[in-house]
Structures are given as structure tokens and as C-alpha cells.
Amino acid sequence: MSRLIVMIAQRLALGVFTMFIVSIVIFAAIEALPGDFAQAILGQGATPEAVAAIRDSLGMDRTAVERYFAWLGGAVTGDFGVSFSQLSFQSQYGQTGERDVVTVADQLRPRFANTIFLAATAAVVAVPLSLGLGILAALYRGSVLDRIANIGSLTSISSPEFFVAYLLILFLSAANPIFPSISKIHADLDFWQQVYRTVLPALTLTLVVTAHMMRMTRVAIINLLSSQYIEMARLKGVPRWRIIVHHALPNALAPIINVVALNLAYLVTGVVVVEVVFVYPGVGQLFVDAVKLRDMPTVQACCLIFAAAYILLNLTADVVSVLTNPRLRHPR
Amino acid sequence: MDVMTDGNTLLTIRDLRIEGLSGEAWLPIINGVSLHLDRGEVLGLIGESGAGKSTLGLAGMGFTRDGCRITSGSISFDGIDLVSASPERKRSLLGRRIAYVAQSAAASFNPAHRLIDQHTEGPVLHGVSSREDSREDARSLYDRLRLPDPGNIGFRYPHQVSGGQLQRAMTAMAMSCRPDLIVFDEPTTALDVTTQIEVLAAIRDIVEQFGTAAIYITHDLAVVAQMADRIKVLLNGDEVEENDTRTMLSHPAEPYTRSLWAVRSFRRPEQAPAPAGTVPVISIRGVTAGYGADIDVLHDVSFDIHTGRTVAVVGESGSGKSTVARCITGLLPPRQGEVRFDDEVLPPGYRHRTRDQLRQVQMIYQMADTALNPKLRVRDIVGRPVQFYRGYRGTRLLERVEELLSQIELDPGQFINRLPSELSGGQKQRIGIARALAAEPRFIICDEVTSALDQLVAEGILKLLDRLQRELNLSYMFITHDLATVRAIADEVVVMKDGHVIELGAKTDMFSPPHHAYTDLLLSSVPEMDPDWLDRLLAQRGRNNIGEAARLGIDRAAHRQSTL
């Protein structure tokens, strides 16, 4: 058991280290971006003095390394700084009164909750659906069902998601007004109202991620069907469905879990396009808006959240797939 | 179509033909074999690889592997026609009335489930007994099969149980529904001799106790002699002959059977021991070595190998035989001790050895399949070391490769441009030998070179190695777990156990008593071609003095001695 704990601790440490490297990359990438927020916000009327004043108030005069550690220190404690676009620069023009300052964290919190809600809705449908389809496709390998599942999943995986999204809008919103094409959700709506408005973006995401998970489930199971213990199970008179579910699936879990984690991470990070199409108020939309406004603290925070989601989900997948291995769970 | 049969007949196969899909074509695997088995009878199926033993055994269960089909003939199990029976009907028989014990228990138990859950699956699915009753029954079967801690061993996962124990647990699983017929498919082939014997004794006991009929598939004649009432010999999907065990052993009718019987009679003429004071080719002195951080696999191993002689290193899996080879070749630098070649100390790691030092020590591997690069042709496989060590090129190189191929008795014109995939197992092993010879070494390590081969082919390889030794004055270190091979070719024997050299000496001394207790156990565990051998041995040694129990006894005795 202790070996397992050491292994999990190692993975966690590695995850933290990866996060650290990613934060450097994000910060460096944003440093390297051309353009200047002060210039952008002042536009035509930018005088050198005004630009310098704003730069000064943002701490741009410090070295990059100093700013990085200040940012990192804040990020670790949940303080991502103050959003540029919400900043009041009145103070620069002689007024000293403290106004309501909107921090990046304040802005992110509801958006993040919305994104997680969308991802969770899609995941709740997509994961069981794709595992079930994958198992059925393996069970009836070569049958019509298998072929339909394969062709269907290939089609959905090879269409761009905005295309899938517009098709859904066309058929389920424009032609047959069943679901709203704009997923404007907010905290005042009751839960089922929120779900109702989330159906189309969630369906789009489901169609995009199901294919990958289904095909991996099918292949992971089929790869094991030539194992000797599967032949043994057949020779014990075990029915075919039970061979797949009871004998093959437990041994195929590791690759399946990894693909599921990868797709869940995509549900969090890959929603940008879908959120924009459906005007869904999630992190993706915020991210796009922040980039347009050159609102660097928000962009950085969004990148960091996306990276954290990826790392956390892959870490979980690693640990869980280790746990599915009886050799590691039950050492000699 | 169900046919009435007389009460005593269990299984009848008539003129069965089975084909297998190979690439695009259906090739015959079984060409019209008939078989008859009465209740409670044990039939031995023997033959070399490709004889169709397993295919025939599985067909007796109404089962064909994917890519095989039955083209004609009938299989009747207790009046049920298995060729025309529906899959559901066959499934209701499998596990319940016909059970299977596979060659590799380690691969045939599902790694994800506990032994007991796999054991109870059949009885519960077939409605033979409840899970609780089946668990109880498993415990009593484990006890009868002499598994240690029968009450709890079932709650382990397959990887937590040793190979010999797993094989017995699998026999218990086959018994779980008290079938009428069990097909044993080479159940002891993958085991060490001392483990094999306890599995054999356990299988035979339980089959006798329950009066179960069995088909026992093996390529080992001595094993089948202990287990079977009748023996059927197969060759390339045809029946050669069939008779009751004693008649078959004493009076084989067919020339092919006689040649199988004769394999074990190959004996290399004894050589006079090296005169005292001669310098050995290879001298291993006090070698201690290991793989991990601080676990030693070898402990203070010392022995010499003299010019023109063969030293057999024997021991069970995990005894450190192959690790010695890795120390000699420099793949694993020892922690302590040294390896001398012609009285000159070899650098521990191969990277520090000169090209000439590397040339002198060559290796031939067990799995010729994986030891040859599948993308290279024979001319390159053999030519590469010639070029590397001798620097030959062009026609000179070609001539040398042709000469080497003639030395290993393969026609150069026919074989020089072949890929390994176009060679048989024995031919691949010969190419492995040619590649070792290409370096013109004085010393060759043969690591289990015959254990993956059929007996007739293996004998050919042994004879070839013997001839080459005499012609080229080579020295061999012959790593093997097969004592029959040792008897055939060795001059001296080194017995290893748990990384220690237990005993060493001339072959004649080693094969005549008194022995070290462990050597005695090893020697007495090798099956002989005498149907009464197992009975006699069990009577002599006692039930509790074979296999694992005996090994533990020896360890305890050694421990007592060392603490005195």
C-alpha cells in the first residue's frame, strides 16, 4: 500500500511542477505579445504622460521577473489581480476616492461555475453514452450496429464543432423551435431552466467528444479479446456479454480512463468556440472578450485555469488507472 | 442430431477435419482423425508443435479457435452432436460437463479478479451450486490439491500466487462443476521440474478420485507415460498410431513414434577431465551481482570452464543461471569478483572490453525468434559479425558466410537470402549458432537453446553443437533446466539455487549418488519413460517430500546447519 501512496505523491508533485512550468510559459507568452494596454485604452488621445501614468499604476515599470512572482504569489492565494478593463483610472486624473474595484477573481467566479455546469451536463450524457456504445460495438463487432456507431462517430468527430453547433441550431431551434439558440443563463433561473437553455451547447460538445471515447472503449476491449483468459472464460461457458463486461472491461479500464480524462479536459478548455456560438456566459466567452480588450490579468487567469483543468484531470486519470491495476493495489 | 450410445462411451470423434485461415487460404490442421474416449479414461495426445494436438483437444469440447473451422466429421459427446449443436447448447456444456486446463495458468486466470471469484463463476452461472457452496467446495478442492493455506489462498489475485500453485488452482477450477471430461492442454510445460511433479501428482489424484475422463495433451513423452491410459500420436494433423500406454512405450509400431522415443537416448561420448593445472578458458571467481539497488541475485559464484568441454549450469527459474551469463558477457558488471579469460581478467563491463575480448565470448539465445532481426536476411545476420570482427568484405565476406552456413548444415544457395520469417524454428536456431560462430569465438554461452524446440529438432541442434565443438575445439556453457539435455551433452555440471552454486563436478559424479539434497530433488523430479515412475517416486519420497514442500524442507535443513 505504501508503494501506492508514494506513487500518488510523486504524481501530485509532478503535477504541481508542471503547473509551475505552465505558469512561466503563460506569463512569458503574454509578455511577448505585441501591443500595449495603455495605448489601446487611451486610443487616439494617448499622450506620453497619460500612457506613462497608466503603465506606472499597473506596475509595468518593475522587471518581468518581479511582476511574475507578484502575479504567481497572488494566483496561488486566489488573487489574480484587478481586471484592466474594469479599472478606474480616475485616480490618475486627480480623484482619490476608492471606487468598487472588480477583481479578476470576481469576474471569473460566476463564469467558471457556468462553464463547469456546461461541461458537467455534457459529461453526464457523453461518458455513459460513449462507454455503453463502445461496449455494444465491441460485443457486436462487425454488425450493423458497430458500423453505424463507427460511421456516426467518425462523422461527428471530423466535423468542426461550430458547424455541428449551427446544424443543431438550424434543426432544433430555427426549423423546429424546441430549444433556444441563445443560452443566456444566470443565477436567477431555476435549475431546470438552466438545463433547458444549456441543451444545445451541451449536445454539441457531447457529439464532439463521444466519438473519441467510444472508439477507444471499443478498441481497448477488442484488443483483449484474444487474451488467453478470455478464451478460458469462453471455455467456462461464460455468455458473451459477461465476457465483455466482466472479463475484458476491468482490464481495459486504464486506456479508457485516460481518454475520458482527456475529453473531460477538452470539455472545460475546448468550449471557447461553442460558448461564443451560443453566447453562453462561460470562461470561454470571457477569455475571448479579454483578448479583444488586451485585458492581460484576465487572459492569464483564464489560461491558468485551462491548464489547471488539463493537469488535474490527467493527474486524476493517472491515479485512477493505477488504482485499476490489481498488481499495484494488491502487491505480493 | 443426438445419437444413442452405449453407456460407457463419453466422447467419439469420427474422421474430423479442421482447417485454419492462414492469410487468404484455408490450410488443413486436422486431416481426418478419429478418437474414442470412455468415461473415466485418460487419453494422452502427443506430437510436436503443429501436430494439431490443441486443435483436436479443443474440438473435443466443441470449440474451435477464431480463424478455424470444422469442414467435416462428427464429434459426439455423451450422445450430443457438438458439430451441429447450437452455440447456446454448447455453452451450457462448457465448464459444466467439459472443462479445460490451459498451458499457462498465469495468462489464463483473469488478472482483475480473485481466484475464488473465477472459481465460483462457472458453478453459479450454470446453476450447479450457490456461490457459498461453491466457495466451500473450492476450499476442499484446494486442500485435496495440496495448495498451501487452502482456506485463504482463493482470496488472492493471480499475480500473488506462484506458477505451480496457479496451475493447481486452475485444475480445481476445472473441477468446480464436477465435469465428465477435462482437457488438459500442456498443463506442466511452463513449469520447473520440481514444480511439475507436484502438479502432475495433484492432477492424477483428483482425476482418479472423481473418476473424470481426461484428454491430456503434451509433447513430453515421459509426462504422458505417467498420466494416460492410452496414447495417441499425432503428426501434422494425422494420426500416427494409438495404443495403450504400456504397449506404446515398449513396442511402438511406427517409425515416427520410434524416432520420438529414441530422442532421449542421444549421448555424447564422455571426455576425459582436463588435466590438473591447465588454464581454464573461462574462470568465474567469487562473482556477486544483482540488478536493483542492493538485492543480490548471485552470491559468490565460482566455477571454471576448460577448453573443448561443456559445462551445464542447471537450476530452476530464478536461480541465477542467466545472470551468470550476463556477468560473463559483461552486460551486467558484477559487484564483486572477476571473470577471467585465459587467466586474463576481463573488464567487468562490455564497453571496456577490447574487440578481441568481445569476439571470444559469444551467445546463442533461447528464443531464436526474437534474437534474429526480422528485417534482415540471413546473409546480413551472419555477415555482420564477420565484417565487424574480421573486417571481410565483398566476395571474401560472401564466401565466409557460405562456409558458415555449410557448417551449420544449411544449404547456402537455398538459405542465404531468406528472412527469419521464412525459416523453421530449428533453422532459426541454426542461424543463431552461425552468427555466434561468425565471430570465431573460443567460448559460447548457450542459454536454453533447445527448450523452445520440439524434441527431434532439439536433438539435431544438440548433435550439431557437439560436432562443432569437436571440430573447432569450442567450450560451451550450457544453461538449461532440462536434465535430459544435461545428461546428453555435459562434461561437468554446476547446480544453482537462489543465486548460489549448490554443487559442481563431473557429470558422472553428479548423476550418481550421494547428492546434495537439492540436486537429488532435481534429479528425481525428472519424469522417466516408465509408467510406474511417478507411483514409485511418490512411494519412495512420500507425498510431502516433492516440489515446493521438499524445497522448503531443504531450505530449513540448510538453515539449521548454518545456525548450529
Residues B69-116 have pLDDT tens digits of 999 999 999 989 999 999 999 999 999 999 999 988 888 999 999 999
**pLDDT tens for each residue of A199-258:** 899 999 998 888 889 999 999 999 998 899 999 999 999 999 999 999 999 999 999 999
Predicted confidence (pLDDT) at residue A321 exceeds the cutoff of 90: no
Q: Tell me the chain A residues in contact with residue B66 when contact means C-beta distances shorter than 8 Å.
A: 226
Kindly state the cell numbers that stand for A45.
488621445
Peptide bond before residue B514 is cis, with ω within 30 degrees of 0 = yes
> Which residue of B61, B65, B112 is in closest CB contact with A250?
B112
Among B19-28, B117-126, B156-165, top mean pLDDT goes to: B117-126
Average pLDDT over residues B262-267: 67
Average pLDDT over residues A32-37: 71
Q: What is the structure's pLDDT at B263?
A: 62
Helix%, strand%, coil% for chain B, nearest 5: 45, 25, 35
Are residues A165 and A99 located together in one domain of the fold?
no
Q: Is B415 on the interface with A (CB under 8 A)?
A: no
Q: What is the structure's pLDDT at A22?
A: 92
> Are A235 and B94 within 8 A, CB to CB?
yes
Name the residue in chain A with its Cα closest to that of B94. A237
Q: How far is B104 from chain A (nearest CA, A)?
A: 8
> Are B112 and A232 within 8 A, CB to CB?
no
Q: Tell me the chain B residues in contact with residue A327 when contact means C-beta distances shorter than 8 Å.
A: 111, 157, 159
Name the residue in chain B with its Cα closest to that of A248. B110
Q: How far apart are CA B62 and CA B66, in angstroms?
A: 13
3-state secondary structure of B362: strand
Average pLDDT over residues B492-516: 85
Q: How far is A325 from chain B (nearest CA, A)?
A: 7
Q: What is the ipTM of this complex?
A: 0.79
A104, A138, A159 — which closes off a domain?
A: A104
pTM, to two decimals? 0.81
Are residues A89 and A222 located together in one domain of the fold?
no
Average pLDDT over residues B14-40: 90
Are residues A183 and A73 located together in one domain of the fold?
no
The pLDDT mean for chain A works out to 84
β-pairing, B361-364 vs B238-244, is unpaired
Asked if residues B543 and B201 have their Cβ atoms less than 8 Å apart, the reply is yes
User: Which of 117-146 (B) contact A at CB < 8 A?
Assistant: 121-122, 125-126
Average pLDDT over residues B251-265: 79
Are residues A304 and A200 located together in one domain of the fold?
yes
> Are A236 and B157 within 8 A, CB to CB?
no
Name the residue in chain A with its Cα closest to that of B110. A229
3-state secondary structure of B62: coil
Chain A residues with CB within 8 Å of chain B CB: 226-229, 231-239, 242, 247, 250-251, 324, 326-327, 330, 332
> Are A238 and B104 within 8 A, CB to CB?
no
Residue B28: other Cβ atoms inside 10 A: 15
Q: CA distances (Å), B556 to each of B162, B165, B196, B364, in order? A: 20, 21, 22, 37
Q: In total, how many domains does chain A have?
A: 2
Q: What is the structure's pLDDT at B213?
A: 94
Name the residue in chain B with its Cα closest to that of A232. B108
Name the residue in chain A with its Cα closest to that of B183. A235
> Are B110 and A251 within 8 A, CB to CB?
yes
Q: Tell me the chain A residues in contact with residue B113 when contact means C-beta distances shorter than 8 Å.
A: 250
Q: How far is B318 from chain A (nearest CA, A)?
A: 16
Are residues A90 and A111 located together in one domain of the fold?
no
**pLDDT tens for each residue of B162-221:** 888 899 899 999 999 999 999 999 888 878 888 888 889 888 888 888 989 999 999 888
Express as a percent the part of chain B with pLDDT over 90: 49
Predicted confidence (pLDDT) at residue B276 exceeds the cutoff of 90: no
Cell 471606487 belongs to residue: A99
Predicted confidence (pLDDT) at residue B238 exceeds the cutoff of 70: yes
Q: Tell me the chain A residues in contact with residue B115 when contact means C-beta distances shorter than 8 Å.
A: none
Higher pLDDT, B126 or B450: B126
Average pLDDT over residues B153-157: 92
Predicted confidence (pLDDT) at residue A97 exceeds the cutoff of 50: no
> Which residue of A237, A324, A330 is in closest CB contact with B157?
A330
User: Which of 71-110 (B) contact A at CB < 8 A?
Assistant: 91-96, 99-100, 102, 104, 107-110
Are residues A210 and A314 located together in one domain of the fold?
yes
Q: Tell me the chain B residues in contact with residue A242 when contact means C-beta distances shorter than 8 Å.
A: 125
Q: What is the structure's pLDDT at A92?
A: 45
Are residues A285 and A304 located together in one domain of the fold?
yes
Q: Which of A41-45, A323-327, B297-301 is predicted least confidently?
A: A41-45
> Are B108 and A232 within 8 A, CB to CB?
yes
Confidence class for position A95, pLDDT limits 50, 70, 90: very low
Q: How far is B32 from chain A (nearest CA, A)?
A: 24
From edge to edge, which strands make up the β-sheet containing B361-364?
Answer: B361-364, B443-447, B475-480, B310-314, B492-497, B500-506
Confidence class for position A85, pLDDT limits 50, 70, 90: low
Q: What is the structure's pLDDT at A101?
A: 66
Q: Tell me the chain A residues in contact with residue B110 when contact means C-beta distances shorter than 8 Å.
A: 229, 232-233, 247, 250-251
For B98, counting Cβ atoms within 10 Å of its Cβ (0-12 exposed, 13-18 middle, 19+ buried), the class is: buried
Are residues A89 and A115 located together in one domain of the fold?
no
Question: What are the residues facing B234 on neighbouring strands?
Answer: B239
Range of the domain at A61: 2-104
Are residues A61 and A77 located together in one domain of the fold?
yes
Q: What is the structure's pLDDT at B431?
A: 94
Q: What is the structure's pLDDT at B146?
A: 82
Q: Tell me the chain A residues in contact with residue B55 when contact means C-beta distances shorter than 8 Å.
A: none
A104, A126, A157 — which closes off a domain?
A: A104
Confidence class for position A188, pLDDT limits 50, 70, 90: confident
Q: Tell me the chain B residues in contact with residue A226 when contact means C-beta distances shorter than 8 Å.
A: 66
> Are A237 and B65 within 8 A, CB to CB?
no
> Are B99 and A236 within 8 A, CB to CB?
yes
Name the residue in chain A with its Cα closest to that of B173. A236
Are residues A7 and A50 located together in one domain of the fold?
yes
Q: Where are the alpha helices (DSSP H) in A161-295?
A: 161-169, 191-224, 228-235, 240-242, 249-269, 272-277, 283-292
Chain A to chain B, count of Cβ pairs less than 8 Å apart?
75
Among A45-54, B290-299, B325-334, B501-510, top mean pLDDT goes to: B325-334
Q: Is B157 on the interface with A (CB under 8 A)?
A: yes
Asked if residues B76 and B1 have their Cβ atoms less than 8 Å apart, the reply is no
Task: Report which secondary-structure segment, H or E, holds B11.
Answer: strand B9-22
Predicted confidence (pLDDT) at residue B546 exceeds the cutoff of 80: no
Kindly state the cell numbers that stand for A48.
506620453
The pLDDT mean for chain B works out to 88
Name the residue in chain B with its Cα closest to that of A332. B160
Asked if residues B94 and B44 have their Cβ atoms less than 8 Å apart, the reply is no
Name the residue in chain B with its Cα closest to that of A235. B94
Residues 6 or more apart whose Cβ sits within 8 Å of residue B428:
B368, B369, B372, B420
Predicted confidence (pLDDT) at residue A289 exceeds the cutoff of 90: no
> Are A231 and B112 within 8 A, CB to CB?
no
Residue A102: other Cβ atoms inside 10 A: 14
Q: How far is B384 from chain A (nearest CA, A)?
A: 37
Higher pLDDT, B495 or A47: B495
Q: How far apart are CA B402 and CA B405, in angstroms?
A: 5
Are residues A146 and A90 located together in one domain of the fold?
no
Q: Which of A73-77, B129-133, B477-481 is predicted least confidently?
A: A73-77
Confidence class for position B265, pLDDT limits 50, 70, 90: low
- Encode B484-516: b = buried (16+ Cβ within 10 Å), e = exposed: bbbbbbbbbbbbbbbbbbbbbeebeebbeeebb
A104, A121, A155 — which closes off a domain?
A: A104
Q: Tell me the chain A residues in contact with residue B58 when contact means C-beta distances shorter than 8 Å.
A: 235
> Which residue of B58, B65, B122 is in closest CB contact with A236?
B122
> Which residue of B61, B110, B125 is in closest CB contact with A247?
B110
Are residues A55 and A178 located together in one domain of the fold?
no
Predicted confidence (pLDDT) at residue A271 exceeds the cutoff of 50: yes
Interface test with A, best of B89, B103, B110, B185 (most A CBs within 10 A): B110
Confidence class for position B542, pLDDT limits 50, 70, 90: confident
Residues 6 or more apart whose Cβ sits within 8 Å of residue A288:
A272, A276
Residues 6 or more apart whose Cβ sits within 8 Å of residue A314:
A258, A261, A262, A265
**pLDDT tens for each residue of B407-428:** 999 999 889 999 988 888 889 9
Q: Tell me the chain B residues in contact with residue A234 when contact means C-beta distances shorter than 8 Å.
A: 63, 94
Q: How far is B103 from chain A (nearest CA, A)?
A: 10
User: Which of 274-313 (B) contact A at CB < 8 A?
Assistant: none
Express as a percent the part of chain B with pLDDT over 70: 97
Q: How far is B6 from chain A (nearest CA, A)?
A: 27
Predicted confidence (pLDDT) at residue A326 exceeds the cutoff of 80: yes
Confidence class for position A128, pLDDT limits 50, 70, 90: very high
Q: Tell me the chain B residues in contact with residue A251 when contact means C-beta distances shorter than 8 Å.
A: 110-112
> Are B66 and A226 within 8 A, CB to CB?
yes
Name the residue in chain B with its Cα closest to that of A228. B108
Average pLDDT over residues B235-256: 90
Q: Is B152 on the interface with A (CB under 8 A)?
A: no
Q: CA distances (Å), A236 to each of A164, A248, B42, B86, in order? A: 46, 15, 21, 16
> Are A232 and B96 within 8 A, CB to CB?
no
CATH number at residue A200: 1.10.3720.10
